[in-house]
Chains A and B, each alone.
Chain A
Amino acid sequence: MNHREPPALATWMLDHLRSRGTDEALSGDLLEAFRTGRSAGWYWYQVIVAIAIAWGRNVWRYRVTLFFAAVWSVFSPAWLLLPVHFSLDSLVGDTSQIPWPWSFICAIVFGMVIAMLFIWLGVAVYSTLHLLAFGKCLFRSVWKGFLWGLVAYALAQACKFAISIHYPQPASNAEHWGSLTMLGVILRFPYFTGTATTLWFLASRDKPEQVRAA
């Protein structure tokens, strides 16, 4: 038996980029085939296809969740009107009196709270519909869902911020409408990401199904 090693990066990707990483049989099979004469190119091909299939299956498994997140995020601009009526000033008093960086931190925390309320209102609506349709409760790992939803929302919001800085100003009317549509999509993107990630973790199993040993 040849004990040459397959590309280390490919093996790392296979072990870490598949969400169902506990199933080691596939990794073992690829290693065995590589050591019996398959090329590094063949190994890379197998790894990339395996990762693509694993993610494709996950997306398909959570299709209802993703569909709901997309629909729910459409309503986010209406929710954003809420802070206009229910502002930070009305909560903590005159924010101009708060020194920097606390004023900045307060504004960020307020924004996050408003966003999380929207996302968790969506989670409540989804869970109710899920319960009515299938008679099963959705909540499995609430803290995981909350934390990853928060992280995903913050990252998407940071991306949105970076895009909005570099986004060129519209020159004509047509471009203005085009950019408005684009901005609409960007505006909803963090809400979609946050809602989808939260629901994904809430709906996912803590431990994948184990195959019994012979």
Chain B
Amino acid sequence: MCYFFAIIELMGTRSYLGEFELMLLLAVIHLGEEAYGVPVARELEKHRGRIVSVGSVYAALERLEAKGLITSSLGDSTPERGGKAKRYFRITKEGLRQVHETRRVLTRLWRTIPDFKLEFHLEER
């Protein structure tokens, strides 16, 4: 019964980066010192071409922070934001390492697919 308890508790803890998480990390790297909720969501919207929920951005960023891939700190509160502080995000060394690792694996996988196969699937669609 105790093992069953522990199994349910540990369910859903994955170590690899998801698609959305990878995009977020790249946006945080790109924005540098200005990486907080609004610009990060805007950056993703610009590249994905659809509305991004700021709530889901925060949820994913907090998940990444729990994994030690980014850190966050509060900035000053401003009147434009109703006196509420900005929460800035920075990538950690481990985060950078994982981004590079994911890129390396994805590039290798892309190289294994010949061009004619990609063209064939695109034509089918």
Contact = CB atoms under 8 A, between A and B. Distances in A.
Interface of A: 1, 23-33, 35, 42, 45-46, 49-54, 57, 60, 63-64, 67, 129-130, 132-134, 211-214
A27 B55 contact: no
Query: A24, A45, A51, A130: which has the most chain B beta carbons within 10 Å?
Result: A24
A67 to B, nearest CB: 6
Contacts of B81: 28-29, 31-32
B60 to A, nearest CB: 10
Interface of B: 1-3, 5-6, 8-9, 11-12, 36-38, 41, 51, 53-56, 58-59, 72-75, 77, 80-82, 84-88
A contact patch SS? helix
Given A33-B38, A129-B2, A214-B73, A25 B53 contact: no
Contacts of A134: 5-6, 9
B53 A211 contact: no
Contacts of A63: 8-9, 11
Given A25-B36, A25-B74, A28-B82, A132 B2 contact: yes
28 contacts: A24-B85, A25-B58, A25-B85, A25-B86, A28-B37, A28-B84, A28-B85, A28-B86, A29-B36, A29-B38, A29-B41, A29-B86, A31-B84, A32-B80, A32-B81, A33-B38, A33-B41, A42-B51, A45-B53, A46-B53, A53-B59, A54-B55, A64-B8, A67-B8, A129-B1, A129-B2, A213-B74, A214-B75
